[in-house]
């Protein structure tokens, strides 16, 4: 009951201070409001951007390693030795089967190749479609969300049959107001039977590959319409690792040893292939957003610092104005901690007003549509904003509250 009474009195005194000096209080709390708004707004934008980008890069898969000619982590620039990577041999189907049959640290191994082309149905056509030829195990390595119809059967894959799964944009363009399942479309002059349609992904924040504009066919059928191999398109070999980091390290070492042996490389020779991990790109994105979040702390920190001084100023004035009341409370038996908590609660309450106002402003911004980016104010950021506000209130009010608690009751009453 004493604690509840203390809280109630603190709230009452805070409201009285707001009503008595409304302009001064609003100007002082503006710093906290702007600071919390800046920090939470940056965090909300960063979280939304990171979520959108990682969703756009979901085609990379999780715990996936690919064998390619080029190293994705090598970067670029004028000093990039592109000719070294360009001379490397393409992956082959025999290397895929060798790794598939011998890898022990891989949950699944798949082979795929892709190219861009125009697809047709009657007088309708869709330009720039990404046609991907895959093996049956592709669905075990990557997520293949089917919205209608089905994925390929193992017989269709092994028999290199002309079947295709298409994206929603292609389906709507080639087959307007029609069910595409069971229809025949043309890819590079060859007829393909539509057996499935991917789930719609929608617009991505960046220009990343989308299944809405993609076609997927068996790898054997892909090899019939494209030159795949040593002097043609180079396929990629993808492996799904185990769920832990140790499993991925073991898989990397195992793949390196097996593929070097398959290609007959001597111990003194460098590997003529690159192992690219999906986690590398995700971690790089996370590092970039960590820097942006740090900048948000710096920007908002200055505003919060100003707001903290403003609240401290209010509390010093409040202690001065209520010195006589403090003396009366102490003469009636109020303990030092009661006076201390009274002003600390008041400082926290004042700071929380600024923090809540900043969070409300961020929430209103989430209703603004920024292209395909959907802003979301998470519970984590709300708790963070309230927590920072509470800490600022305590830090700003601790000195005035301590001075008030240490006042001599006789001197305090005489100050009137």
- The pLDDT tens digits of the residues spanning 197-207 come to 999 876 655 55
Determine the Cα–Cα distance for residues 259 and 263; give it in Å rounded to an integer: 6
* pLDDT tens digits, one per residue of 238-284: 998 876 666 788 888 999 999 999 999 888 888 888 888 866 666 66
Residue 56's pLDDT band, with cuts at 50, 70 and 90, is low
3-state class percentages of the chain: helix first, strand second, coil last, to nearest 5: 55, 15, 25
Q: What percent of the chain has pLDDT over 90?
A: 27
* pLDDT tens digits, one per residue of 195-238: 999 998 766 555 556 788 899 999 999 999 999 877 788 899 99
Do the beta carbons of residue 69 and residue 274 sit within 8 Å? yes
Q: For the chain, what is the total number of helices (H) and then of strands (E)?
A: 14, 10
Give one word for 229, left, alpha or beta, with left for phi > 0 and alpha for psi -120 to 50: left
Do the beta carbons of residue 414 and residue 57 sit within 8 Å? no
Please, which residues have CB within 8 angstroms of residue 301's CB and are 6 or more apart in sequence?
35, 39
> Environment class of residue 333 by beta-carbon count within 10 Å: exposed (0-12), middle (13-18) or buried (19+)?
exposed
**What number of CA atoms fall less than 13 Å from residue 18's CA on the CB side?**
15
* pLDDT tens digits, one per residue of 359-413: 998 888 888 776 666 788 888 888 888 888 888 888 888 888 888 888 777 777 7
């Amino acid at each position: 009951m004493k604690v509840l009474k203390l809280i109630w009195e603190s709230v009452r005194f805070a409201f009285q201070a707001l009503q008595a000096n409304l302009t001064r209080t609003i100007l002082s709390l503006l710093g906290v409001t702007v600071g919390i708004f800046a920090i939470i707004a940056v965090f909300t934008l960063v979280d939304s951007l990171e979520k959108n980008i990682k969703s756009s890069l979901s085609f990379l898969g999780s715990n996936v390693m690919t064998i390619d000619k080029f190293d994705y982590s090598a970067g670029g620039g004028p000093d990039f030795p592109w000719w070294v990577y360009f001379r490397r041999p393409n992956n082959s189907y025999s290397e895929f089967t060798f790794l598939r049959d011998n890898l022990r640290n891989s949950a699944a191994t798949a082979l795929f190749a892709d190219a861009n082309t125009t697809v047709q149905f009657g007088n309708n056509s869709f330009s720039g479609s990404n046609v991907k030829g895959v093996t049956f195990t592709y669905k075990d390595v990557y997520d293949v969300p089917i919205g209608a119809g089905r994925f390929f059967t193992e017989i269709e894959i092994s028999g290199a049959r002309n079947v295709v799964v298409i994206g929603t944009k292609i389906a709507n363009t080639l087959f307007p107001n029609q069910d595409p399942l069971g229809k025949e479309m043309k890819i590079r002059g060859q007829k393909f039977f539509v057996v499935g349609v991917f789930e719609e992904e929608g617009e991505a924040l960046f220009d990343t590959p989308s299944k809405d504009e993609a076609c997927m066919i068996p790898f054997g059928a892909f090899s019939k319409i494209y030159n795949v191999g040593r002097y043609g398109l180079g396929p990629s070999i993808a492996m799904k690792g185990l769920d832990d980091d140790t499993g991925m390290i073991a898989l990397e070492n195992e793949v390196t040893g097996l593929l070097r042996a398959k290609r007959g490389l001597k111990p003194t020779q460098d590997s003529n292939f690159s192992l690219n991990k999906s986690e590398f790109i995700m971690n790089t994105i996370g590092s970039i957003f960590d820097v942006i979040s740090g900048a948000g702390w710096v920007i908002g920190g200055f505003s919060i610092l100003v707001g903290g001084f403003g609240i401290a100023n209010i509390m010093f004035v409040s202690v001065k104005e209520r010195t006589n009341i403090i003396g009366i409370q102490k003469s009636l038996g109020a303990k030092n901690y009661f006076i201390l908590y009274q002003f600390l609660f008041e400082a926290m309450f004042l700071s929380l007003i600024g923090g809540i106002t900043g969070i409300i402003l961020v929430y209103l911004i989430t209703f603004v549509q920024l292209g395909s980016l959907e802003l979301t104010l998470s519970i984590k950021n709300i708790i963070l904003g309230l927590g920072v506000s509470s800490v600022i209130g305590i830090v700003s009010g601790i000195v005035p509250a301590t001075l008030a608690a240490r006042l001599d009751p006789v001197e305090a009453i005489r100050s009137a």
